Structure 1
Amino acid sequence: MTIEEHLIAYIADTWLDGDPDGLDGKSPLIDLNIVDSSGIFELVHHLQAEYRITVPLREVSPDNFRNVETIAALVARLREEGKNRI
């Protein structure tokens, strides 16, 4: 399962009663009121637990959480940065 597929399933389960119909990588999560500001922090917690990354506060912005594609890109970037620190 890709990061995007996992995120779509998580978002559907958490905020859409398990129904991912109409939700894809480009769906504007905030504009469609699927995720609000408190939901972003719930997503951050999930990302940190699921992918064993640290999401710095400076990365917690609407731009990084606008859709599944941007969240997946953030996860991939933070994972890569974590590897480079070792």
Structure 2
Amino acid sequence: MTKTELTKQMATDAGISIQAAQDAIQSLINGITDALKTESGKITLTGFGTFLTSHREARMGKNPVTGEAIHIPARNVVRFKAGKKLKETV
């Protein structure tokens, strides 16, 4: 499902305009993004799941084409842990 399809479904289900649904989805995305940028880097949506950030240390890897060793820099990554209700549904 794409963002456009989700917007249309949300507008239909909630009985609101497509623009209002787009605004609501964008607000949700912005809220999750802002929460992940904070020091705790965690947002929990009860029944759905938890988005959290974790730090990956720098490491050595291999270029799959040449086999040459390359340095992979440290970075923060986003993880998602599905909630109980979501796991049971899927």
TM-score scaled by length of structure 1 = 0.26
- Hey, which of these two has a bigger chunk of helix by percent? 1
The higher-RCO structure (CA 8 Å, 6+ apart) is 1
Higher Rg:
2
Structure in which a larger fraction of residues adopt strand: 2
